[in-house]
């Protein structure tokens, strides 16, 4: 029987599994020495900048907004084509998400349309690097400086990606990463926030854990409202085992993406992703199906051939929660069209070139 190919699968070596077992045996399984070591390793990858870990990339995004002073009465501009957490965290801090349509080629927020969406209430931008393809950081930060806006980068999908030779996280304002199970590097669940200034560390740590500050042997104070978003040592040890493989995993993903471009049948009339092998970490390989294709039938037909297909993502402004806030169909035609037809194909380091060929052949059969 042919093995089933999911759209994502983490690659965890035996040394890391043994290391996680050691943490479990140690008795210290919540935030402790492994978390500190993981944050130090992340800081080295981010050029020495302060990095704090979280229980999820979503938590990192929310704390990033809070550190930027975003709250009631403020607006935050973002893309409608992302995991819904990107906008949900804006609502969580009491602000209003304002959507801008995407560039149909990159599928990222259309930077040309941001200026028209800025109002006196706008305080921040949340760009999303869909599938690991970075938003143009030069133009993004030019816009933010011109309009005195904070930037909270939703780099949940782009850990290991680069912009013009510089690794994401080594520059910029607040940068939120995710280490969810389907990401390029995983802690099973988890995330991290890169801070622009060391003087934000104390507040960041308080917001992460109920607003608590400790001092002396028994002193404790709470002066801000925090959440419960700390990473466990179990998760951190998993991350420590993954980090040394970051470049290896990224290179492998790029090789597999090249194979997709080589093997994909162009007569299927699908839109392939932007062919960027300099900046993208190739977190996902996504095709936009032709207008003639029925995505649900395509997913079912691929599953029958032993291949998993994901949907990342429906245009979030069409969800009931956001329709209730006044958003409606027709406002962002590119995001809506892509959201209706986008399909994520299998891409993970353990795949072979033969696996990619198999996916391409299955897609040809499913779409013919």
Per-residue pLDDT of 132-182, as tens digits, reads 999 999 999 999 999 999 999 999 999 999 999 999 999 999 999 999 999
Write out the DSSP string of 204-259: HHHHHBTTEEEETTTEEEE-S---B-PPPHHHHHHHHHHGGGHHHHHHHHHHHHHH
Residue 156 inside a domain? The answer is yes
Domain identity same for 19 and 168: yes
DSSP class of 331: S
Q: Span 246-261, mean pLDDT?
A: 98
CB 71 within 8 A of CB 207: no
Domain identity same for 252 and 113: no
CA distance 252 to 141: 30
Domain identity same for 177 and 281: no
pTM above 0.75, yes or no: yes
CA distance 177 to 191: 5
Instruction: Supply the mean pLDDT for the chain.
Output: 98
Q: Which domain holds residue 306?
A: 245-367
Per-residue pLDDT tens over the stretch 272-295: 999 999 999 999 999 999 999 999
> The CATH number of the domain where 333 resides is what?
3.90.1150.10
Of 206, 227, 242, the domain-final residue: 242
To the query of whether residue 183 is one of the catalytic residues in this protein, the response is: yes
Domain identity same for 212 and 284: no
Of 191, 211, 242, the domain-final residue: 242
pLDDT > 90: percent of the chain: 99
DSSP β-bridge partners for residue 296? none
The pLDDT value given to residue 2: 74
Q: Is the pLDDT of residue 1 over 90?
A: no
Active-site residue, from 36, 183, 228, 291: 183
Domain identity same for 334 and 189: no
> The CATH number of the domain where 117 resides is what?
3.40.640.10
Residue 163 inside a domain? The answer is yes
> What kind and span of H or E run contains 44?
helix 33-45
CA-angle at 120, arms to 116 and 122, nearest 5° = 70
Domain identity same for 128 and 147: yes
List CB contacts of 94: < 8 A, sequence separation 6 or more: 71, 72, 73, 74
CB 175 within 8 A of CB 193: yes
Domain identity same for 20 and 153: yes
């Amino acid at each position: 029987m042919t093995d089933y190919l999911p759209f994502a699968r983490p690659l965890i070596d035996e040394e890391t599994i043994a290391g996680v077992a050691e943490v479990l045996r140690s008795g210290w399984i919540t935030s402790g020495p492994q978390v500190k070591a993981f944050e130090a390793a992340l800081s080295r990858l981010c050029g020495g900048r302060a990095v704090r870990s979280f229980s999820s990339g979503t938590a990192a995004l929310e704390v990033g907004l809070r550190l930027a002073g975003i709250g009631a009465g403020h607006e935050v501009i973002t893309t409608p084509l992302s995991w819904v957490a990107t906008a949900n965290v804006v609502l969580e801090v009491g602000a209003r998400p304002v959507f801008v349509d995407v560039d149909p080629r990159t599928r990222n927020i259309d930077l040309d349309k941001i200026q028209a969406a800025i109002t006196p209430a706008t305080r921040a931008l949340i760009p999303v690097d869909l599938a690991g393809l970075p938003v143009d950081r030069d133009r993004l930060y030019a816009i933010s400086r011109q309009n005195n806006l904070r930037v909270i980068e939703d780099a949940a999908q782009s850990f290991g990606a680069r912009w013009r030779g510089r690794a994401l996280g080594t520059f910029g304002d607040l940068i939120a990463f995710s280490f969810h199970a389907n990401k390029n590097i995983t802690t099973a669940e988890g995330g991290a926030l890169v801070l622009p200034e060391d003087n934000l560390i104390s507040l960041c740590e308080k917001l992460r854990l109920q607003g608590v500050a400790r001092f002396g042997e028994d002193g404790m104070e709470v002066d801000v409202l925090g959440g419960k978003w700390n990473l466990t040592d179990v998760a951190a040890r998993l991350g420590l085992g993954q980090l040394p493989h970051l470049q290896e995993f990224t290179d492998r993903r790029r090789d597999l993406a090249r194979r997709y471009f080589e093997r994909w049948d162009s007569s299927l009339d699908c839109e392939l992703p932007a062919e960027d092998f300099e900046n993208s970490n190739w977190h996902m390989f996504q095709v936009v199906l032709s207008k003639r294709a029925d995505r649900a039938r395509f997913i079912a037909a691929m599953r029958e051939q032993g291949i998993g297909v994901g949907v990342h993502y429906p245009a979030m402004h069409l969800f009931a929660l956001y329709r209730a806030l006044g958003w409606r169909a027709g406002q962002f035609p590119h995001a809506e069209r892509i959201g209706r037809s986008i399909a994520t194909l299998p891409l993970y380091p353990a795949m072979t070139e033969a696996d990619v060929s198999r996916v391409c052949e299955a897609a040809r059969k499913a779409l013919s």
